[in-house]
Amino acid sequence: MPNWLLPENVADVLPSEARKTEEVRRAMLDQFRSYGYELVAPPLLEYVESLMPVQDQDLDLRMFKLVDQLSGRTMGIRADMTIQVARIDAHLLNRPGVVRLCYAGALLHTRPSGFHSTREPLQVGAEIYGHAGLEADVEIQALALASLKLAGLSELTLDLSHVGVLDAVIEDDPLAKSERSALIGLLRAKDMPALHEWVKRYGHSVSEAVLTLASLRGGIEVLDTARQSLPRKAAIDQALSALSQMAQAATGASINIDLADLSGYQYESGVTFAIYVPGLPNAVARGGRYDEVGEAFGRARPATGFSMDLREIVGLLPVTPPVPAISAPWQHDEALQALIAQLRQQGEIVIQHFPGQSHDPQEFDCDREIVEQNGKLVIKPLR
C-alpha cells in the first residue's frame, strides 16, 4: 500500500479550499461575536462519559474510542462539540443568567454522516443557555440562516420539526416509550412498510398516531392537519404552536414542516430544524433545543443551538479566481525591502522569487512586478 494513501472519506485540504474554509470560518465567528457570542475551544478528546453523558446510539457509533495510557480509562475523540460546550456552560462558567457561546473545531467520525461526507468535519456552531423561551430558538434559527447566507449560499429550505410531538404520542404506551430510539430510526428512514409492522405491537391509538406522524410533511399547512389528526394533548398543541411561531419568524428561506424528521442527535428535546440547499441531500446545518444535557453535568440549563460542517459548505461554493499579487526579485537591497514591507502593510501580496527558480502558486496571480527604472523602484504590469 502506498504511504500516501489516506483512509476512506479522509482527504488533504488543498490551498484554494483551505483558504476559502478559513475565510468563511473567520467571517462566521466575527458574525457570532456581533450577536454577543463568546468563543470557546473544547479539547479534541475526553473521557467517553463526558463526551456522551446521555445515552445516544448514533453518537456512540460515530465516536472513535481509545484507552488512555495514563489512567486506563476509555477516551473518545469528539464526534460532536455541542455536549462539550454544554459542559463548559454548566460546570466551568457556572453563570446564573443567559450565556451565548460559539465554537469552531475539527471532529472525527468513524463513518461518514452522508453521501460523499468527510469523516473529519470542521464544525462551527453557536449555543444559547439559560433561556427556555422560544425567543432563544428564534435567535438561533435566524443566526443559522444568516451564517449560511454570509458564506454565499442561497435558495435555503428550512425544515422544522419538534421532538415533543413523538414523545407525547408514545407517552401512554410503555412498550413504545422503551423503543423510542428504534422508532426514531424508522421515522428517519421513511420506511413505511417496516414501520407498519413495528407499530402493530402497540395500542391501536398509539400505532395510528405514529403512522399519521410519519405522513405529516409539507408546507406550513401541515400544522393544521396535525392539529386535526393527532391526539388532542396539551404537549402536542404547544409543540405545534412553537413550530408555527418558528415558521413565521423565518426570513429568506422556504419553509417545510416534517414532524417525522428526527435526524439530529437523540439528546434533542424540543424544536429542531435542518437547513437544505439544492444539489445536496444532506442538511448543511442542524439545530434545536436540548434542555436535558446540562443536568448530566450537575446543572440543568435550558439550551438551544445549531452547528454546521464548514468543509461541506465550502465544497458548495464556486471556485474563486487567484488573488492578484506582485512579483519581486530576491535581493538584499534596503530600498527594495522597505518597498515590499510598505506594500504588504497596505494589504498587497508580494512574492519574492528565488534566483533561477519558477513559482507557480495556485492561489496567487502575479499580474505586476517590481523593477528598477532609472535608479528607482517601480511597479509595472506584467501583461
Predicted confidence (pLDDT) per residue in 181-214, tens digit: 888 888 888 888 998 999 899 988 999 999 998 8
Mean pLDDT, the chain, whole residue set: 90
pLDDT of amino acid 381: 93
Say whether pLDDT at 264 is over 70.
no
Check whether domain 1-152+284-320 has CATH 1.20.1250.20, yes or no: no
Work out the percent of the chain whose per-residue pLDDT is above 70: 98
SS3 track for the chain: CCCCCCCCCCCCCCHHHHHHHHHHHHHHHHHHHHCCCEECCCCCEEEHHHHCCCCCHHHHHHCEEEECCCCCCEEEECCCCHHHHHHHHHHHHCCCCCEEEEEEEECCCCCCCCCCCCCCCEEEEEEEECCCCHHHHHHHHHHHHHHHHHHCCCCCEEEEEEHHHHHHHHCCCHHHHHCHHHHHHHHHHCCHHHHHHHHCCCCHHHHHHHHHHHHCEECCCHHHHHHHHCCCCHHHHHHHHHHHHHHHHCCCCEEEEECCCCCCCCCCCCEEEEEECCCCCCCCEEEEECCCCHHHHCCCCCEEEEEEEHHHHHHHCCCCCCEEEEEEECCCCHHHHHHHHHHHHCCCCEEEECCCCCCCCCCEEEEEEEEEECCEEEEEECC
The bridge status of strand 254-258 relative to strand 122-129 is unpaired
320 versus 241: which is more confidently predicted? 241
Q: What local confidence, expressed as pLDDT, does residue 22 receive?
A: 95
Mean pLDDT of 312-327: 90
Would you say residue 270 has pLDDT above 90?
no
Encode pLDDT of 124-146 as tens digits: 999 999 999 999 999 999 999 99
Cα angle 344, 350, 356 (rounded to 5 degrees) comes to 150
Q: For the chain, which residues make up each domain, given as ranges? A: 1-152+284-320, 157-276, 323-381
Average of pLDDT values for 269-289?
89
**Weakest-pLDDT range from 63-77, 104-118, 149-163:** 104-118
Higher pLDDT among residues 49 and 268, named by residue: 49
Quote the pLDDT of residue 160: 94
For residue 105, CA distances in Å to 13, 44, 273, 310, 319 come to 15, 8, 22, 10, 24
Q: What is the pLDDT of residue 13?
A: 87
Which pLDDT band holds residue 263 (cuts at 50, 70, 90)? low
- What is the pLDDT, as a whole number, of residue 279? 80
CB 128 within 8 A of CB 140: yes
**With bands split at pLDDT 50, 70 and 90, how would you rate the model's confidence at 260?**
confident
Region 62-69 average pLDDT: 94
| Average pLDDT rounded to a whole number, residues 362-366 | 87
- Rounded (10°) angle between helices 163-170 and 234-249: 170
Identical fold at 1-152+284-320 and 157-276? yes
8 Å CB contact between 265 and 287: no
Q: Average the pLDDT over 359-376 and give the result.
A: 87
**Mean pLDDT confidence for 153-165:** 92
Cell numbers given for 95: 453563570
Question: What is the reported pLDDT for 146?
Answer: 96
Name the one residue in this structure whose C-alpha cell is 528565488.
354
pLDDT of 114 > 80? The answer is no
Q: For 247-261, what is the mean pLDDT?
A: 91
Q: What average pLDDT does the segment 114-126 reach? A: 89
Question: Each residue of 344-355: b (16+ CB within 10 Å) or e?
Answer: eeeeeebeeeee
Answer CATH for 157-276 from 3.40.50.1950, 3.40.80.10, 3.30.930.10, 3.40.50.300: 3.30.930.10
